Amino acid sequence: MSRIAATFAALKAANRKALIPFVTAGDPDPAATVPLMHALVAGGADILELGVPFSDPMADGPTIQRASERALKHGVGLKDVLAMVAEFRQTNGDTPVVLMGYANPIEAMGWDGFCASAKAAGMDGVLTVDYPPEESGEFAAKCAAAGLDNIYLLAPTTPAERVDAVARHARGFIYYVSLKGVTGAATLDLGEVAARLPAIRAATGLPVGVGFGIRDADTARQVGGIADAVVIGSRIVQEIEQSEPAARLDNVRNFVAGVRAALDRG
C-alpha cells in the first residue's frame, strides 16, 4: 500500500480527517524548508504538500506568488525541491509528501528523469496544476509505473460527466477546489461545497480533499465535517511571511496544531 493510501486508511480507522498543509519549497530561503516540514508534522499534519517555485504561477493568488518569488530569488528549482524531500525522508519515513506545481519545471527535467528522481527522493504524489488528464496521459502512466500517485483537481465549474472522467484517472486522492478563483481567494461557501461532494463520491472511492479559501480552524473543522481531507496553503504561507525568523517554526507549528485540534473536535 502506498504511503498516501496507508495514511488515509489509518485516519479512517481512527475516524479522523486528514490535515494537508502547503508550503512553497525554498520560501523564504532553501534552508527553511525541511525544518518547516518537520514543524508541520509536529503540529499535526498528515500529508505535506510542497510547492515547486515557478516564475508564472497562473493559478495562485498574491500570497503564494510572493512565496514563489522569494524562493526563486535563491534559484530554487525542481532538483533542489527533490533534494529537500530526500533530506526530510532521512528522519521521517511515514508522512506522505505531495509535490504541487506547474508543468514546465517537470517538462524541463523530462518525464522519465522526474519520475525516477521523485521516487528516489521519497516523493509520494504529484499534483500538476496545468496538466489536466487530457494532456497528461503519458506522464500519468510514467508516474504510475514509478509508484507516484497522480492527483487531479476537480472544480465548481467541472460538469457532471467530466467529474466521472477525471475521477477515473485520479490516484491517491481527489483535490476539490472549493471556489472559482486563485489560491488564497475569498472564503469558501460551505453549502456549495457540500452540494458538490455527493457527485464526486459517487464517481470515486478515493478520499476527497478540499482546498482553496480555508483560512481558519473553524472553517477547517466545518470542511472536515464533509470531506476526508482539508488543504490549507495561503494561510500558512502568510504565517511564514509575517513571522520573525526566530519565531517562524513555532508560529507555523502552533497554527497547524490549532487547526488539528479543531478538526479532531469535529
Partner 1 sequence: MQMNDTPTSLPDARGHFGPYGGVFVAETLMAALDELKHEYEAARHDPDFQEEFRHELRHYVGRPSPIYHAKRWSEMLGGAQIFLKREDLNHTGAHKINNTIGQALLARRMGKKRVIAETGAGQHGVASATVAARYGMECVVYMGAEDIKRQSPNVFRMKLLGATVVGVESGSKTLKDALNEAMRDWVTNVESTFYILGTAAGPHPYPMLVRDFQCVIGEECKVQMAEMLGRQPDAVIACVGGGSNAIGIFHPYIPVEGVRLIGVEAGGEGIASGRHAAPLSAGTPGVLHGFRSYLMQDANGQIIETHSVSAGLDYPGVGPEHSYLKDIGRAEYVAINDDEALAAFHNLCRYEGIIPALESSHALAHAAKIAPTMDKDKILLVNLSGRGDKDINTVARLAGIEL
**Residue with smaller CB distance to partner 1, 59 or 86:** 59
Catalytic site residue from 46, 60, 228, 239: 60
Rg over alpha carbons for the chain, rounded to the nearest Å, is 17
Smallest gap from residue 132 Cβ to partner 1 (A): 6
Catalytic site residue from 49, 149, 228, 239: 49
60 is catalytic: yes
Query: Could you tell me what percentage of the chain is helix, strand and coil, using 3-state DSSP and rounding each to the nearest 5?
Result: 55, 15, 35
**Residue with smaller CB distance to partner 1, 20 or 182:** 182
Reduce the DSSP state of residue 136 to 3 states and report it. coil
Q: Which three cell numbers stand for residue 235?
A: 494561510
Total residues found in the chain within this entry? 266
Give the span between the Cα atoms of 97 and 126, in whole angstroms. Answer: 9
Smallest gap from residue 200 Cβ to partner 1 (A): 12
CA distances from 44 to 53, 201, 220 (A): 25, 26, 13
Q: Which three cell numbers stand for residue 129?
A: 496544476
**Residue with smaller CB distance to partner 1, 187 or 254:** 187
Smallest gap from residue 129 Cβ to partner 1 (A): 5
Q: Which residues bind partner 1 (CB under 8 A)?
A: 53-59, 61-62, 65, 69, 72, 75, 77-79, 102-109, 129-132, 134-135, 152-159, 162, 166, 177, 180-182, 185
Active centre residues (catalytic): 49, 60
